[in-house]
Amino acid sequence: MNLIEIRGLEVSACHGVHDYEKIEAQRFVFDADIETDFYRAAESDDLRRTVNYSALCNLIAGIAKHNTFNLIEKLAYECAFAILENAPVKRVKLSVYKPDAPIKHKFGTVGVTVETSRERAYLSLGSSVGDRKKYLDSAIEKLGKTRGIKVTKVSAYLKTQPYGGVAKNEFLNCAAEIETYLSPRQLLEEINRIEAECGRVRSVRWDDRTLDIDIIFFGRKVIYEDDLTIPHPDYFRRDFVLAPLREIAPEFYCPVQNKKIKHL
């Protein structure tokens, strides 16, 4: 792992919940660990083959100076996201400290730390109500316009029979590969928003629906939570999920089934 480290970057800016904090500049101090591959830069001694830490400092300082946020949590995420959006990096861990925070106690500093990374995820999309192709097209478009998501591959659309014994209509399904720096939970929230915007109503499980988007894989993460399981349970028994995945990700290795998609 190659890390670019920034320590003690001090910026005067206006952030805070109090009115005067939005007018009077205060000190903010940034630390950042930025994971990227600079082997070729070390080999060639060429600045163009690495991430310029001076440019990163300018980027952080620019966001801090040209915006006004209530919370340093917001400031930290904006800086971390901007680095991922503007530089070829894998992971960012960024801390923001406010040494002159308006606290009526003696303290050294207060701050927050955020960590986010670029991951490849695979989604399964389906529709069985109305103009099914239009709903899938709209979902792909909305995903691509969501901050933190880049759609990199989309499979052909596939007509399939309903699954689960409740839905009656024929489905149109596809799979999408995305690159994202959102967390799995943040991605799920954006997916729920897109489903709602496309008229999704959650009433009876497995019933016909305008749009259904499932997270099948999120990198090689394995997650078991009340409303979020990754890899998606039973995906390997559903050909309407597997067939599109085989088209766009045949070599992807499932961390639970321990097989490549093309072998499932």
What positions carry a catalytic annotation?
98
C-alpha dist (Å) from residue 247 to 174, 181, 222, 260, 261: 10, 24, 23, 12, 9
> Do the Cβ atoms of 157 and 133 come closer than 8 Å?
yes
**Side chain identity, residue 5:** E
- Output Rg (C-alpha) for the chain, integer angstroms: 22
| Angle (deg, nearest 10), helices 132-145 and 184-197 | 140
- Report the C-alpha gap between 31 and 163 in whole angstroms: 50
C-alpha span between 49 and 193 (Å, rounded): 38
The two structure tokens encoding residue 180: 């994202």
Q: Give the span between the Cα atoms of 135 and 128, in whole angstroms.
A: 9
